[in-house]
Amino acid sequence: MSKVFVNIGLSLDGYMAPEGMIMSDPGYKGWGAKWGAMMAWILKQQYFRENLLKLGPGGETGPVNDLVRSTVERIGANIMGKRMFDQGEVAWPEEAPFHTPVYVLTHEKRKPWERPGGTTFYFVNDGPERALALAREAAGTRDIRIAGGADVIQQYLSLDAVDELEIALAPVLFGGGRRLFENLPDSSPRFRIDRVLDGSDATHLRYVRQPRAQDISKG
């Protein structure tokens, strides 16, 4: 069965997005500079620049670049929240950088939005479990990425649906914004460290879910 994984950037003090993040005003509360510092590592990678940003040849190669490639190639579908979609709709290029079906959790009713390059956004009004079922069907044998934002990731953690966490931890401090790990129940899944990769601008951490006691007993 395909796996469900989170793949995000995170500030050193635990925020996914800085306070005041509004795409129409990158200077508001300095969020643009903070976000850029957190995500600087990926903007340098050859695979990301050539295949997702379509900037032409160039960029860094090596273990981090290989990590970006393997992550992108495993994704068969993405899930995100309405806030993330709204921010991206005005900022993404015409060929949105997903190249898979994307399921958007929202109360808004809207027809699918097809973009060049294989990305189609589907707007799901029936909650996170329905979005996950649709994503599983679309992904086939490939994996499902929970792209964000923080509240959507928290919903899937609370549902015990996340198999892996991939976090690029950048040495920047936001001091406020949207935290990743909050609003979680005591019964949230436990994870163990699977991999640590040091980069020049971020430390890349991979955690895998530990099986629960009842799952071990069943096995």
Query: Which tens digit of pLDDT belongs to each residue from 147-160?
Result: 999 999 999 999 99
- With 90 as the cut, is the pLDDT of residue 55 above it? no
Between 1 and 96, where is the model more confident?
A: 96
Mean pLDDT of 71-77: 96
**Integer Cα distance of 134 and 144 in angstroms:** 10
pLDDT value at residue 212: 65
Number of domains composing the chain: 1
Quote the domain boundaries for residue 159: 4-218
Query: Which tens digit of pLDDT belongs to each residue from 155-188?
Result: 999 999 999 999 999 999 999 999 999 888 887 7
Which residues does 52 contact at the CB level (< 8 Å), separation at least 6? 72, 97, 99
Q: Quickly state the pLDDT bin for 211 (edges 50, 70, 90).
A: confident
Look up the CATH number of the domain holding residue 155.
3.40.430.10
**Integer Cα distance of 5 and 86 in angstroms:** 22
Query: Which helix (H) or strand (E) segment is 216 a member of?
Result: helix 213-218
- With 80 as the cut, is the pLDDT of residue 208 above it? yes
In the chain, the percentage of residues whose pLDDT exceeds 70 is 96
Closest CA to 189 of 170, 166, 161: 161
Query: Which tens digit of pLDDT belongs to each residue from 11-37?
Result: 999 999 999 888 778 788 889 999 999
> pTM of whole model > 0.85?
yes
- With 90 as the cut, is the pLDDT of residue 93 above it? no
